Chain A
Amino acid sequence: QKEVEQNSGPLSVPEGAIASLNCTYSDRGSQSFFWYRQYSGKSPELIMFIYSNGDKEDGRFTAQLNKASQYVSLLIRDSQPSDSATYLCAVAHYGNNRLAFGKGNQVVVIP
Chain B
Amino acid sequence: DADVTQTPRNRITKTGKRIMLECSQTKGHDRMYWYRQDPGLGLRLIYYSFDVKDINKGEISDGYSVSRQAQAKFSLSLESAIPNQTALYFCATSDSGTYEQYFGPGTRLTVT
Q: Contact residues of A with B, CB < 8 Å? A: 32, 34, 42-46, 49, 88, 90, 92, 97-99, 101-104
Contacts and interface: CB of A to CB of B under 8 A. Distances in A.
Contacts, number: 40
Interface in B57-73: 58
A101 B104 CA distance: 17
Contact of B42 (A32, A43, A49, A88): A88
Interface of B: 33, 40-43, 45, 48, 50, 56, 58, 90, 99-106
A83 to B, nearest CB: 19
A103 B42 contact: yes
Q: Summarize A's interface: helix, strand, loop or mixed.
A: strand
B50 A103 contact: no
19 contacts: A34-B100, A42-B105, A43-B90, A43-B104, A43-B105, A44-B90, A46-B102, A49-B100, A88-B42, A92-B99, A97-B48, A97-B50, A98-B45, A98-B58, A99-B45, A99-B99, A101-B43, A102-B42, A104-B42
Nearest to B91: A43
B40 to A, nearest CB: 7
* Those 5 A-B pairs whose CB atoms lie nearest each other, nearest first: A92-B99, A103-B42, A43-B103, A101-B43, A32-B99
A69 B33 CA distance: 30
A103 B56 CA distance: 23
Contacts of A101: 42-43
A88 B43 contact: yes
A28 B4 CA distance: 32
